[in-house]
Amino acid sequence: MYTLPELSQEKSFESIAIMTSGGDAPGMNPAVRGVVRAALGLGINVYGIYRGYSGLIADDIHPLTSGSVSNIVQRGGTMLKSDRCLAFKDPEVRAAAAAILKRRNIGALVVIGGDGSLTGAHLLEQETGVAVIGLPGTIDNDIFGTDDTIGFDTAVNTALEAIDRIRDTATSHERHFLVEVMGRASGSIAINVGMAAGAEMILVPEQAFDVATISEELATSRRAGTGSSGIIVVAEGPEPGLTSRLAAQLKERGQDPRVCILGHIQRGGSPTGHDRVLATCMGAMAVRYLCAGYSDIMVGVKDGSIVDVPLEDVIRFRKGLEPSLLDLALQVHR
């Protein structure tokens, strides 16, 4: 469980709204439920904005009741749907969105999403004065200021379950598999999945790698009888097709790896118990922070405690891999 801060009520709201934005993440539904139930318990009306910022500017906003969020904690994805809205980068569009909220007497907005979604929330608050609270909803666990993000644990366990099955085939056919997991700029999923799966190698964007060296290591282990098969976990990286290109380059050097791209299965599925508890705590605390007078912050978790992080910091700074974890992962998987 998490240690929750003591907050006193300083502000009241007639109504608040909640949205999920960007890539979906397992645990978004428990977060929505946490917000709705906590707000209704304080006599605050709650509106759901469907399809993220696209739904906000289209005024696709509907009341949520306690019944609206019944039996959703076990469901993956998001009941509110999601979208990536390029139009919201326009200040005039943000001003129009604020006018829609004001017309509906909605005094605050809770946004669940990644760094792009939280950037939109920050700009909305700075330009229009709408109170906003962000929740880190992304499987990549790459948001500054929080040790954990909603959906990360589920994504790791989903990928791990798939790799455990792939290893059976790899062993049977004495073959190496390049298993690609999500992570364009962050190797957090790859590191955690690779360590948990006992992968022979882990390739992440934060660490340069050399194809010739990889090929030689595979050939050496095969000759020594210590590695005729195995799993190489590859973070997808910023350019599409990285894993397929790597497989082709290894084949030119005498290796014959197979490629398995896990792709969007990592986003779906029922959230783990860990993600359900994390999301529920963050959702309920978002309401408490609003009522305590906070705005323009993200609710995060640090060292087992729920904390508030200025959205300006979330946007300005980037969360990298813990250097010691990266070193350990590379050391034990050589």
> What does the buried/exposed string (b/e) look like for 60-81 if buried means 16 or more CB atoms within 10 Å of the residue's CB?
bbeebeeebbeebbeebbbbbb
DSSP strand pairing (297-302 vs 131-136): parallel
Q: What is the pLDDT of residue 230?
A: 87
Q: How many residues are recorded in the chain?
A: 334
What would the pLDDT profile of 218-276 be if each residue is shown by its tens digit?
888 776 655 667 899 999 999 999 999 999 999 999 999 999 999 999 999 999 999 99
**Active site includes 296?**
no
Q: What CA–CA distance (Å, rounded) separates 223 from 212?
A: 16
Q: Which residue has the higher pLDDT, 223 or 99?
A: 99
What would the pLDDT profile of 261-314 be if each residue is shown by its tens digit?
999 999 999 999 999 999 999 999 999 999 999 999 999 999 999 999 999 999
Q: Please determine, for residue 63, whether its predicted confidence score (pLDDT) is greater than 70.
A: yes
Which tokens is 305 given?
Answer: 């405690």
- Order the strands of the 258-261 sheet from edge to edge: 201-203, 230-235, 176-181, 258-261
Residues 6+ apart with CB under 8 A from 36: 18, 46, 64, 65, 66, 68, 69, 283
Q: What is the pLDDT of residue 224?
A: 63
pTM: 0.95
Nearest Cα neighbor of 33 from 1, 76, 83, 68 is 68
Percent of the chain with pLDDT over 70: 97
Q: What CA–CA distance (Å, rounded) separates 197 from 92?
A: 48
Q: What domains does the chain contain, in order, with CATH numbers? A: 15-151+271-316 (3.40.50.450), 153-267 (3.40.50.460)
Our CA dihedral for 162, 163, 167, 168, rounded to 10 degrees, sits at -20
Candidates 140, 142, 275, 308; catalytic one: 140
Q: What is the pLDDT of residue 56?
A: 98
What would the pLDDT profile of 111-166 be if each residue is shown by its tens digit?
999 999 999 999 999 999 999 999 999 999 999 999 999 999 999 999 999 999 99
Q: What CA–CA distance (Å, rounded) separates 120 from 245?
A: 35
Q: What CA–CA distance (Å, rounded) separates 220 from 89?
A: 52
Q: What CA–CA distance (Å, rounded) separates 146 from 135?
A: 10
